[in-house]
Structure 1
């Protein structure tokens, strides 16, 4: 995968997260239960992003599970996610070819050993986040809230409108 594509994918991830957090901030208090489920799901994405950030940075793991016991507020989680998204964007902007293929050994939160290349970890972070943002969308649909169109093509054409020109 090219570095340009990786950078674009992490810009897309940050864009999709911003759109979803903006929408969730408008939910009516009558949907507190659904909002709680959404926050728990988004917190899981954040925690996993931070765990893999630690693996990529050779830092100690900041969490011992893939979610936290306490549920953060929507605004706190949004701030934490924005900080982590910015870290990933900066990280992929500084990578080199040999670093992408470097295989890292780490321990999952369940105690099992894992081995993945940096590129595989980065792709996991992207796909994992997209999968669970889709779960949030499924929570919103029954309460008649249309989730954002979290698709890469929309991001590309929104961020680069000239792509629409022939």
Structure 2
């Protein structure tokens, strides 16, 4: 039986690698070119995705959300100089997530989530994993738009393409 939150997180990892691979094919300057969009540069968008992924990882591993949010703020503001630096950060965090996911016996377990922006609620671990993947999808869409605004084609990184890129036994 497919574990959908884990499959969606695997998609999230693949899609991040795919968009980073596309950015790497373009001039290194594209990372920090200003654009009138959701973020001032592609680097800002990547830093945001990474910071939020890190924040949710901290929450999943037992840190309260207010503290996890505070710890992620510097990551959100840290703008890196190269796609390789982003790729390395995302790869390291992905490994941490994979290890955490492998050790989970019940992703339907709930935790008390104290969201500083929305309040307190019981939240399933699976919901957090799915939200993390969904958040990344949203902002990879921003990056695709930013690439087009800068005169470059993006790359497909849809979930349905992931199905065809990954061997059935790997999913």
State the TM-score bracket (shorter-chain normalisation).
0.7 to 0.9
Mark the runs of 5 or more structure 1 residues left unpaired by the alignment.
none
**Aligned-pair RMSD on alpha carbons?**
2.7
Distance 2:164 2:118 in 1: 41
Q: CA deviation at 1:132?
A: 0.4
Gaps of 5+ in 2: none
Provide Cα deviations, 1:23-62, integer angstroms capped at 9, x if missing partner: 2123225634159711111111111111111111113526
Residue 159 (str. 1) matches residue 166 (str. 2): yes
Name the SS for the 2:77 alignment partner.
coil
Question: What is the CA–CA distance in structure 2 between the aligned matches of 1:130 and 1:28, rounded to whole Å?
Answer: 23
List aligned pairs for 1:62-73, cutoff 5 A. 63=71, 65=73, 68-73=76-81
TM-score relative to the length of structure 2: 0.78
1:40 maps to 44
- Aligned position for 1:53: 57
Between the two proteins, the alignment pairs up a number of residues equal to: 158
Are 1:10 and 1:126, in contact at CA under 8 Å, matched by a contact in 2?
yes
1:104 corresponding residue in structure 2: 111
Could you tell me whether the CA contact under 8 Å between 2:53 and 2:132 is conserved in 1? yes
Q: Identify which range, 70-79 or 137-146, moves more after superposition.
A: 70-79
Residues 5-35 of structure 1 deviation map (CA, whole Å, 9 limit, x = unaligned): 2232222111111111112123225634159
1:38-89, Cα deviation, whole Å (9 max, x unpaired): 1111111111111111111113526253853331233222211111122222
Q: Distance in 1 between matches of 2:146 and 2:114?
A: 32
Structure 1 length-normalised TM? 0.80
Contact 1:100-1:119 within 8 A present in 2 as well: yes
